[in-house]
């Protein structure tokens, strides 16, 4: 039923992207031949990152535009499947690509909260928002709030919340960009941030949503290929089956059996584990004693301890036959010694927690909410549920995703494009748990029990790169690796998979390019959301409604530049960890937007007063809870019902709903015009007779 | 444009479909999750059932839900004559 122009456009797109995918695979093959010929790894890494980044920039240049509708909503002619791919890469950030498999490796079943949360949210998007937003058919999410509730206050709160959650999220992405470029090219973190940013800017600067959409489709292809290849290989290596999602049930059984052996002190392997755990138990007791002494002794105790270390280092220095390594360690210990009581408390507390974790038995990968007693288990279950709900509702409220549904050709296409998005996204999310299990199998069976003199090459390689990602120390000096002696940082799992699977370096570079694609594409979408909120909602809708289109686009682009530089600056200060930032963005979005958006469509009685009350109280509750409970802010108030700060939205959302309902019922029903607008949104064919309001 | 009885019927049907699908979504996510520990002994394709649901089953259901909704609604749009004109 498509018009010939659109169907020609679609088949053209299919041809382009098929050629592109073929070209990309050819490029990988070519590089692996180069690798066989002896081209150094570093150069291959540069070529890989250079080519992909300039590719994105190239698409940006090709799709440059100065048409308002093209700039904001890609001309509203993005076919459902391509919109699905674009949303897929817009959606999957560095946290999904690199962090997720690692989180699953470290926390087993409990990590599945992210898998379910980040996919199930699209059910809410499809059922409650996407088709209605498409029918509404404007440019931004605050547009909808402004038109539905009237007046500039709901719009302003919307703008504030959109910028707040997008900005929090974009910092996490730029952080990922900096991390990947610096790790794989050896550039400085700050330089990495600005190089990555350059390509983001070039792309969104020239072509807005149009350029970002077509770049994101290209990025989806790269990131999914990069994620799948090593996992498939690993699956073939361990099971002989190239479909990891099917094959890993069998591997999981073996991992579970192995976990039992390692936790059983009567088996030889289990006995060695028990020995190492006993040593960590002693460490833990020592840490706790030290913390107690610090509490009573204060600064005096701290300087006393430091003096001991300084003395020990000086004594070693004085000895002629001193072991240079021991001397280095002693000096390092002096240099790393905490500067004041607060820092000491923090560092030693962390140390105590780490030692405590190593002194107990390992928990089973597939066991939900593992814990020593009923209360811990209940607590974990409660937090799991809360996190799933926050991530889902947050998904259905993040403006950079929702505004993509403005770009499809029709309401029907919007519905279908949620289907494609979810399908493309699920492809990665069903693979990540498989990767976690396969990697765990490798570590539990091949690494544990191997001798320290013959560590697998990927272990020694990564241990020399970054101690927080991978470290093995022979704690009980028996020359054999025990599980408790291995420390793995979550990010390692995806980054090291190609080496674990024994693949050539090209695949490692491919994974880096995939991670970069994931981070860049999400950053692109977010940055555009922020700039559009400022230029469209604040400048055009509130400050200067008569502005000519040329000036609107100019303002938009200028703001993009300002936002990008500001975000890069904040990122270079390295504020907090990625997961905290991401979690905060979801909770904030869910609390601020979801109640007002969903009720705006499904409850005609919802009015301006309700929206103002609901959005502001939801957002405020969420912000206050995060502020008082995240250790980062230093307030450390007791938790409400033991809910972790990452799920702050669990309080913000009900408050938001209550706010909208109470506020609306206390004030008169919205006028006829608004009610007509709700009808307009509900029925795909209803013509609008409310032009004056939203045009 | 004035709403007809047909419009109201369409909307009621839409709400019904949306409600039923949301119920499935809720059961798959929260009910299965809540009783995860009690279903540990059930296995499917080598996986303990709750793990399978969290890692794959629920995702498959989500995809099907969204796909079914798109299919159902476009049928409903045509049935009630509220579909969009060709673009």
Chosen from A101, A126, A405, A603 to mutate, greatest number of chain B CBs within 10 A: A126
Residues present in chain B in total: 87
Partner-chain contact A109 B10, CB within 8 Å? no
Other Cβ atoms less than 10 A from the Cβ of A426: the count is 21
For chain A, the structural domain boundaries read 4-240+381-437+503-694, 257-380+454-488
- Report A:307-346 residues touching B (Cβ under 8 A): none
Instruction: Name the token pair of A578.
Output: 């990625």
Q: Do the beta carbons of residue A513 and residue A48 sit within 8 Å? A: yes
Cβ within 8 Å of B, A 195-254: 245-246, 249-250, 252-253
Tokens encoding A159: 């703008």
In angstroms, the CA A136 to CA A74 distance is 16
- Give CA–CA dist A129/A122, Å, rounded: 10
Q: Is A116 on the interface with B (CB under 8 A)?
A: yes
Is residue A670 within 8 Å of A607, Cβ to Cβ? yes
pLDDT value, residue B27: 93
Q: Distance (Å, rounded) from C-alpha A477 to C-alpha A467?
A: 20
How far apart are alpha carbons A203 and A199 in whole angstroms?
6
User: Is residue A239 within a helix (H) or strand (E), and if so which, with residue range?
Assistant: helix A189-239
Residues 6+ apart with CB under 8 A from A185: A42, A45, A46, A49, A192
Give B-chain residues touching A6 at CB under 8 angstroms: 87
Report CA-CA distances (Å) from A324 to A205, A320, A471: 54, 10, 21
The answer, yes or no, to whether residue B16 has pLDDT greater than 50, is yes
Q: Which of B1, B61, B66, B74 to probe by mutation at the A interface, max A CB count within 10 Å?
A: B66
pLDDT at res. B85:
63
| pLDDT at A617 (0 to 100) | 93
The pLDDT, as a whole number, for residue A273 is: 82
Is A376's Cβ below 8 Å from some Cβ in B? no
Return d(Cα A486, Cα A470) in angstroms, integer: 7
Q: What is the pLDDT of residue A117?
A: 92
- State the pLDDT at residue A112: 92
Q: Does B85 reach chain A within 8 Å, measured CB to CB? A: yes
pLDDT of res. A575: 64
pLDDT at A408 (0 to 100): 85
Identify the pLDDT of residue A392. 94
Q: Does A384 touch chain B (CB under 8 A)?
A: yes
Q: Which residues pair with A472 in a beta bridge?
A: A486
Residues of chain A with pLDDT under 70: 1-3, 185, 203-204, 574-577, 687-695
Query: Does residue A203 contact residue A471 with C-beta atoms inside 8 Å?
Result: no
Question: How many Å lie between the alpha carbon of A495 and the closest alpha carbon of chain B?
Answer: 21
Element (H, E) at A556: helix A549-572
Classify domain A4-240+381-437+503-694 by CATH number: 1.20.1730.10
Q: Is B87:A3 a contact under the CB 8 Å cutoff?
A: yes
Q: How far is CA A214 from the centre of its chain?
A: 22
């Amino acid at each position: 039923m498509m018009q010939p122009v659109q169907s020609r456009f679609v088949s053209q797109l299919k041809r382009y992207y098929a050629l592109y995918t073929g070209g990309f695979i050819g490029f990988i093959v070519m590089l692996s031949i180069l690798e066989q010929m002896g081209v150094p790894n570093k150069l291959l890494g540069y070529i890989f990152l250079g080519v992909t980044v300039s590719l994105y920039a190239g698409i940006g240049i090709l799709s440059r535009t100065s048409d308002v509708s093209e700039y904001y909503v890609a001309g509203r002619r993005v076919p459902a499947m391509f919109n699905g791919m674009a949303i897929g890469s817009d959606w999957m950030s560095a946290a999904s690509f690199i962090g997720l498999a690692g989180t699953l490796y470290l926390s087993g079943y409990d990590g599945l909260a992210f898998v379910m949360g980040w996919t199930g949210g699209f059910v809410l998007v499809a059922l409650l928002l996407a088709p209605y937003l498409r029918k509404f058919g404007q440019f931004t999410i605050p547009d909808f709030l402004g038109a539905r509730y009237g007046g500039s206050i709901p719009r302003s709160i919307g703008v504030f919340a959109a910028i707040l959650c997008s900005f929090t999220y974009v910092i996490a992405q730029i952080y990922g960009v900096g991390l990947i470029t610096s790790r794989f090219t050896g550039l400085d973190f700050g330089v990495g941030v600005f190089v990555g940013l350059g390509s983001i800017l070039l792309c969104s600067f020239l072509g807005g949503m149009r350029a970002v959409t077509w770049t994101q489709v290209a990025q989806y292809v790269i990131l999914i290929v990069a994620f799948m290849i090593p996992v498939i290989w690993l699956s073939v290596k361990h099971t002989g089956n190239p479909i990891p999602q099917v094959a890993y049930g069998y591997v999981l059984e073996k991992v579970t059996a192995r976990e039992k052996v390692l936790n059983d002190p009567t088996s030889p392997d289990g006995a060695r584990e028990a020995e190492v755990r006993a040593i960590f138990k002693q460490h833990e007791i020592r840490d706790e004693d030290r913390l107690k002494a610090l509490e009573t002794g204060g600064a005096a105790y701290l300087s006393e301890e430091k003096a001991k270390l300084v003395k020990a280092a000086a004594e070693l220095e004085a000895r002629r036959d001193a072991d240079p390594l021991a001397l280095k360690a002693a000096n390092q210990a002096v240099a790393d010694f905490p500067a004041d009581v607060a820092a000491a408390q923090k560092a030693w507390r962390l140390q105590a927690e780490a030692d405590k974790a190593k002194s107990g038995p390992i928990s089973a990968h597939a066991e939900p909410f593992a814990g020593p007693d009923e209360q811990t288990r209940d607590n974990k279950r409660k937090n799991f549920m809360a996190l799933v709900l926050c991530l889902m509702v947050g998904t259905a409220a993040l403006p950079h995703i929702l505004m993509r549904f403005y770009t499809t050709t029709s309401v029907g296409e919007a519905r279908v494009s949620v289907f494609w998005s979810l399908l493309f996204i699920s492809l990665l999310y069903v693979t990540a748990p498989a990767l976690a299990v396969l990697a765990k199998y490798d570590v539990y069976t091949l690494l544990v029990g191997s001798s320290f003199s013959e560590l697998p090459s990927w272990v020694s390689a990564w241990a020399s790169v970054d101690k927080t990602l991978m470290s093995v120390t022979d704690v009980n000096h028996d020359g054999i690796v025990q599980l408790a002696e291995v420390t793995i940082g979550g990010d390692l799992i995806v980054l090291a998979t190609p080496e674990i699977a024994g693949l050539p370096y090209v695949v490692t570079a491919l994974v880096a390019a995939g991670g970069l694609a994931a981070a860049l594409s999400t950053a692109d979408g977010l940055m555009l959301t922020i700039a559009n909120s400022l230029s469209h909602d604040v400048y055009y809708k509130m400050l200067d409604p008569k502005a000519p289109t040329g000036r609107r686009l100019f303002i938009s682009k200028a703001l993009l530049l300002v936002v990008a530089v500001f975000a890069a600056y904040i990122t270079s200060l390295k504020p907090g960890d990625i997961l905290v930032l991401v979690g905060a963005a979801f909770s904030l979005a869910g609390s601020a937007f979801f109640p007002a958006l969903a009720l705006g469509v499904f409850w005609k009685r919802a009015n301006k007063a309700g929206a103002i009350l609901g959005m502001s109280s939801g957002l405020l509750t969420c912000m206050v809870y995060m502020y008082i409970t995240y250790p980062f802010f230093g307030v450390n108030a007791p938790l409400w019902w033991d809910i972790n700060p990452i799920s702050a939205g669990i309080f913000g959302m009900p408050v938001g709903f209550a706010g909208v309902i109470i506020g609306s019922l206390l004030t008169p029903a919205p006028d006829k015009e608004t009610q007509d607008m709700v009808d307009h949104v509900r029925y795909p064919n209803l013509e609008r007779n409310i032009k004056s309001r939203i045009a | 444009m004035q709403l007809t009885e047909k419009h109201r019927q369409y909307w009621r049907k839409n709400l019904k479909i949306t409600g039923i699908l949301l119920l499935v979504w809720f059961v798959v996510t929260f009910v299965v999750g809540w009783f995860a520990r009690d279903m540990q002994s059930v296995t499917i394709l080598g996986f303990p059932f709750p793990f399978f649901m969290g890692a794959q089953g629920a995702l498959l259901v989500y995809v099907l839900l969204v796909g079914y909704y798109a299919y159902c609604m476009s049928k409903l749009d045509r049935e009630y004559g509220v579909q969009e004109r060709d673009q």
